[in-house]
A and B are shown apart, each in its own frame.
Chain A
Amino acid sequence: MTGFDLTILLGGVVAGAAPILLATLGETITEKAGIINLSLDGTIMLSAMTAFVVAFNTESLIAGFVSAAVVGALVAAVVGIFSIYLEQSQVAVGFVLTLMARDLAYFLGNPYTRVPGPSVGPQPIPFLKDIPFLGEVFFNHSLPVYLSLLLIGLIWWYMYRTPQGLRLRSVGENPGACFARGINPRSLQMIYVLCGGFFVGLAGATFSLCTKPGWGRPQGAEGTGWIALALVIFGGWHPIRAAIGAYLFAFLQVMGIYFQEWFPSVPAQVFQVAPFPLMIFTLVFINFAQKESVIKHAEGRVWLKVVLRLFSGAMPTALGKPHKTGQ
């Protein structure tokens, strides 16, 4: 039996959660602006392939990351143009795109299957890495992991502390009101769809150049997009809570490896799927926390109010319903 080390475990969680965290944050931005980008899963595959192939051929990791981000934004642009400007169903466009992007990734990436290629190495941050416990958990990683950590705070600050972030939230609530106030809802939504796609592209690159280096079929990133989509809801469309969800998911996955060793009689699959029912349970709880009678009951009970606040999260009112012009 391998030894259980909390520092290594948590360090592994922070590193392993990076790609799913980037994708979740990206989709949170997109959905906060009122657009659902369902193409996430395919986008991650396509950008992961792009990142690996570009980095392999140019021998530049930066080129790999940049091209993946551009691919992510391009796929998002298709969703944006069809749903925002042509007023087509976001769900239908997203679904078709996710399948197309995934198959395109397998097809184009086929010559690079199982080829050893470049990957991002760890870059411990001097001095900070020497802090006991925290140093090992947070400051002994590769650059994409630091980026994912940094983005949580940065996106939160942008959304809730800047006038631009206020506009972002407002367009997801009521695009018609934005129009009346002189904000062009369509271009604003398009910007954040591209922006969200950019981060999803980075998530793909982080997979193929960092977390699970290389390309293959299966690559190992399959399904991540769907989980990220669920995590956005789990996080109540709030970047920090979405990040907590992403870490919780990564934690459960890492714990699954330990549990397999500790309880060899239990089939491995049980631990692999355990995070999913847990997430459904959380969603039920979020719903429950918004019930009027529950809120009423919590009044005067400080600790319960804190718990409810943690689980309160409202869907952007205009999510999936873009602004219709004309009349």
Chain B
Amino acid sequence: MRIELRDMHKHYGSIKANNGINLTVEEGTIHGILGENGAGKSTLMKVLAGYIPKTGGEIIIDDKIQDYHTPADASRRGIGMLYQEPLDYPPLTVLENFMIGQAGGVSNKTLRFREKLEDLIRHFNFTIDPDVRVKQLTVGERQQLEMLRLLSLGIEVLILDEPTTGISDLQKEALFNSLRRLASEGKSVILVSHKLKDSEALCDRVTVLREGEVTGSMEKPYDANELLSMMFGEPPLPSTRSPVEYGGTVLSMKNISGLGERTGLSRCTIDVREGEMIGLAGLEGSGQGVFLRIAAGITKPTDGSLSFFGEDMSGKNLHAFKKAGVVFLPASRLEEGLMPDLSIQEHFALKEGGSSFFVKWDEARSESREKTEKFRVKGTPDTIAEALSGGNQQRLMLSLLSKESTLLLLEQPTRGLDVESTNWVWWHLSKYCLRKTAVIFSSTDLDEIMSIADRILVFFDGTIIKDVKRDKTDTKELAKAIAGKV
């Protein structure tokens, strides 16, 4: 099926998320939509998928103008989308998720759909169990399930919105292979991404959006510099880091075990020194999250001992950890990190704590003004956190941190950020290291860890199976460790 978008507009009040976009996707190809956060990629695709109504323009499918208003209409015309936030039902089983929207009537059709699902799983060599609950799946497996569901609806055009965010390299490879397979079977695939590398690896053709407009398109082979300049106007500088002198031991863990995620954490022993930048590698949910939360004092370890600057912290509460200068930035910024409905100004007012009876609004306002400027948060003191883009939320969280932190714990700090924001985050964090703060971060991107961290811990199945300096290892060795082979 051939899709043509003509002069597409989508306006939110005075903001033009899409402003006259023209785009053609040929049958049997993988087409990349590239652009930084807020370029209008997701908006355009949601319109194509029928999830949001368009303001103007035409959607032409196989030379016929089509007008539809719901996702169901779109899928009847052969267009299906994998949304960035998975639209599924975590407490229900895989099979139930597969059935919802397909099965009707009152008679029990479980058997028929089970067969259908198992056939599809086999066809793509996936390993999903139809009877487990979706909340027990990884992000990558949830994508696989959603993809199979769309295919069983007879989808001819598959749209994927940032599918490589939060999944491991292995899962990414599996995903890309199945997408290539779909294209070779004559289906069209549209990949929305802000990651240059993914688009280069997968797409036959790439269209770049910036601020709601098409800034150019390119076919294989790609010129990375030219693509970057289409995305940003001018290519951003890669991050560089100067070597840091390590100080004394900040954090010391001995035989720490804990519960959480799928694997928990078992018998972890490490020492972290001042000024160290440590990257946590491993498949998502292999214990990195538990490790960070135990170090932050949020999760209590079930076994082992933990100390800061030699002081034993067992039995101490979160407050004691904070007092020691430990800061934790979770991956889910809106759920755990920020108060979605509070403004930037109110976040700063909250930070000041309750020493006086009245809120010092003037101080909070001036501080938020100063910090948003310094941290380049795109928003006013009255902007609520939820209205900020992912990159700006991350900047806001960093701007709220105190300079006196001794240990920064960051869970996937660059998840969902574009190149520019990512570089900025690393540049900012490296300044902390110079001030002798230890920084520990997790990431699903091995290249990022290799280029940022001084020391790398590889997690596998809830244990640290490799603890190595960056200059003593290479990507290959780490990839093997991530897969459980040391």
Contact = CB atoms under 8 A, between A and B. Distances in A.
Contacts of A169: 89, 92, 96
B259 A164 contact: no
B108 interface: yes
B473 interface: no
A180 B51 contact: yes
Question: Which 8 A-B pairs have CB atoms at the shortest separation, nearest pair first?
Answer: A182-B72, A181-B101, A163-B103, A177-B87, A173-B89, A162-B106, A170-B100, A180-B71
A320 interface: no
Contacts of B302: 293
A143 interface: no
Contacts of B49: 180
B355 interface: no
B236 interface: no
B91 A173 contact: yes
Given A169-B92, A177-B89, A327 B52 contact: yes
Interface centre among B49, B75, B104 (most CB of A within 10 A): B104
B91 A317 contact: yes
Nearest to B81: A180
B88 A174 contact: yes
Interface of B: 12, 49, 51-52, 70-72, 75, 81, 83, 87-92, 96, 99-101, 103-109, 259-260, 302
B100 A183 contact: yes
A187 to B, nearest CB: 13
Contacts of A177: 87-89, 100
A167 B49 CA distance: 21
A177 B72 CA distance: 11
Given A163-B108, A179-B71, 7 more contacts: A163-B105, A163-B109, A181-B71, A183-B100, A314-B91, A317-B91, A327-B52
Chain A binding surface, main DSSP class? helix
26 contacts: A162-B105, A163-B99, A163-B108, A163-B109, A164-B104, A164-B105, A164-B106, A166-B96, A166-B100, A166-B103, A167-B100, A169-B89, A169-B96, A173-B91, A174-B87, A177-B100, A178-B100, A179-B70, A180-B49, A180-B81, A181-B101, A182-B70, A182-B71, A182-B72, A293-B259, A327-B12
Given A174-B89, A177-B88, A314-B91, A183 B107 contact: no
A183 B101 CA distance: 6
Contacts of B12: 327
Nearest to A318: B89
A296 interface: yes
A276 interface: no
A181 B90 CA distance: 15
A301 interface: no
Contacts of B99: 163, 166
A163 B109 CA distance: 7
A176 B87 contact: yes
Contact of B92 (A164, A170, A296): A170
B89 A182 contact: no
A178 to B, nearest CB: 7
A181 B51 CA distance: 10
Interface string A150-191: 000000001001111011011001101111111100000000
Interface string A83-123: 00000000000000000000000000000000000000000
Contacts of A183: 72, 100-101
